[in-house]
Amino acid sequence: MRDGVLLAVEGLRAGYGAVEVLHGVDLAVAEREIVAIVGPNGAGKSTLMAAVMGLIPRRGGSVRFAGERASGRTEALVGAGLVLVPETRALFADMPVQDNLDLGAFARWRAGGRGFGRDLDRVFSLFPRLAERRRQLAGTLSGGERQMLALGRALMGRPRLLLLDEPSLGLAPRIVRDIFHVLAELRREGLAILLVEQNARAALQLSDHACVLEMGEVVLAGPSAALAGNARVRETYLGSQQRSENAVG
């Protein structure tokens, strides 16, 4: 176990209907750390995110966040600083960008917090494009702008740990690069991130720790650099030796 653990998942089991998808997953994210989860489609990565956030019932195991046993109520977890950006982004498509961002602070507002102008300025400085489009409906944004808005909305909740499900999904490489730079900057400022990413190469470059999820089980875990050097990971997720040499060249 690493120092300053923020999120500790132990033996987590979850699934849909009669099918169990996660068969006892262990995972930890420390403060100021990016942890990546890689694995094939259907391995249970999104299910893991949903189970941690209480979006689907947990069938066993435990989730602790900031030292406390995390309840299965999503709203309570959001209030505690655990914020998910799902694969679908789940934006309020028929509402303006500004409303989407304001609502990102809903949990804090209900808890009595005020003064969200500073957070808004921060989001606009990270993503100037959003400031230009603050009156536009979220549904009319381009793919990259949508991901920025989803991230911005999540940041308005002032998360301690950000869960990101496939942030690069459907985005052009240039935009993926921009977004990954923002993630690196957020980490420098002290945010912890748990990242599910199909682009294993980028994920392993960005993250401190990583784990490989296959068939609902963590089959490998460790520092990302070590995983990137692991023969099996290279073979399965980074392309073969020859391919990766080509990529570098």
Partner 1 sequence: MSGDIFLLLVQDGLTTGAIYLLLAVGLLLVFSVTRVIFIPQGDFVAYGTLSFAALLANRVPGTLWLLDGLALLSALISLRHARLVGWRGFALRLGPPAALTAASLLLLRFWPAPLPLGIVAVGIVAALGPLVYRFAFAPISRSPLLALLIVAMAVHYVLIGLGLIFFGPEAASTPAFTDASVGFAGEQISGQSLCVYAAAAVLVAALRWAFGRTLYGRALRAAASNALGAKLVGIDEGTTGRLAFLLAAALGGFAGILIGAVTPIGYDTGFILGLKGFVAAIIGGLASYPLAAAGALVVGIAESFADFWASAYRDVIVFTLIIPVLVWLSLRRPGVEDG
Partner 2 sequence: MSARKLLPPLLAVIALAIPYLVPAYALTLLAYVGMAALVALGLVLLTGIAGQTSFGQAAFVGIAAYTSAYLAKVQGVSPFLGLPAGLLGTGVVAWLLGLITSRLSGHYLALASVAWGISFPYLFATIGPLGGFNGMADIPTLSAFGHRLTDPHAWLYLIWAVLLASVWLARNLLDGRRGRAIRALAGGRTMADSLGIDTARLSRTVFVLAALAAGLSGWLFAHYQLFINPSPFSLDAGIEYLFMVIVGGVAWLWGAVVGAGVVVVLRDQLNDLLPRLIGQPGNYETIVFAIVVIVVLQRAPAGLWPMLRRLASPAPPARPGVAVALPHRGAPAGSAPALELSGVTRRFGGLVAASGIGFAVYPGEIVALIGPNGAGKTTVFNLISGALAPDEGRIQVFGADVAGLPARDVARRGVARTFQHVRLLPERSVLENIALGAHERGRSGLLAALLRLDRAEERRLLAEAARQAARVGLAARLMEPAGSLPLGQQRIVEIARALAADPRLLLLDEPAAGLRLQEKAQLAVLLQGLRAEGMAVLLVEHDMDFVMNLADRVVVMDFGQTIAEGLPAVVQSDEAVLEAYLGGIE
Tell me how far, at minimum, the Cβ of 184 lies from partner 2, in Å.
8
Decide: 199 and 119 in contact? Cβ < 8 Å.
Answer: no
Helical residues (DSSP H) of 135-213, grouped into ranges: 143-156, 173-188, 200-206
Distance between CA atoms of residues 3 and 191, nearest Å: 15
Tell me the window of 62-70, 115-123, 166-174, 187-195 that interacts with partner 2 (CB under 8 A). 166-174
Residue 213 one-letter amino acid: L
Tell me how far, at minimum, the Cβ of 17 lies from partner 2, in Å.
5
Mark 143-166 as b/e (b = at least 16 C-beta within 10 Å): ebbbbbbbbbbbbbbbbbbbbbbb
Mark residues 198-217: x for contact with partner 2 by CB under 8 A, - for none. xx-xx--xx--------x--
SS3 sequence, 72-107? CCHHHHHHHCEEEECCCCCCCCCCEHHHHHHHHCHH
Q: Give the N- to C-terminal CA distance of the chain in Å, as an integer.
A: 38
Tell me how far, at minimum, the Cβ of 62 lies from partner 2, in Å.
24
Closest listed residue to residue 29, CA positions, set 12, 49, 54, 8: 8
Q: From partner 2, partner 1, none, which one binds at residue 132 (CB under 5 to 8 Å depending on kind)? A: none
Question: Is residue 181 part of the contact set for partner 2 (CB under 8 A)?
Answer: yes
Q: From partner 1, partner 2, none, which one binds at residue 172 (CB under 5 to 8 Å depending on kind)? A: partner 2
Q: Is 121 exposed, middle or buried (0-12, 13-18, 19+ CB in 10 A)?
A: exposed
DSSP H or E run through 196: strand 192-196
Question: Is residue 42 part of the contact set for partner 2 (CB under 8 A)?
Answer: yes
Question: Is residue 41 part of the contact set for partner 2 (CB under 8 A)?
Answer: yes
Tell me how far, at minimum, the Cβ of 144 lies from partner 2, in Å.
12
Tell me how far, at minimum, the Cβ of 97 lies from partner 2, in Å.
17
Phi-psi region of 216 (alpha: psi -120 to 50; beta: other; left: phi over 0): left
From the list 1, 3, 18, 69, which residue makes contact with partner 2 (rule: CB under 8 A)?
Answer: 18
Tell me the window of 105-113, 130-138, 185-193, 197-205 that interacts with partner 2 (CB under 8 A). 197-205
Binding site for partner 1 (CB under 8 A): 53, 55, 74-75, 78-79, 83-86, 88-95, 99, 102-107, 109-110, 153-154, 157
Q: From partner 2, partner 1, none, which one binds at residue 94 (CB under 5 to 8 Å depending on kind)? A: partner 1
77 vs 213, beta carbon nearer partner 1: 77
Please give the residue ranges that form the binding site for partner 2 (CB under 8 A): 17-19, 21, 40-43, 140, 166, 169-170, 172-173, 176-177, 180-181, 198-199, 201-202, 205-206, 215, 235-236, 238-239, 242-244, 246-247
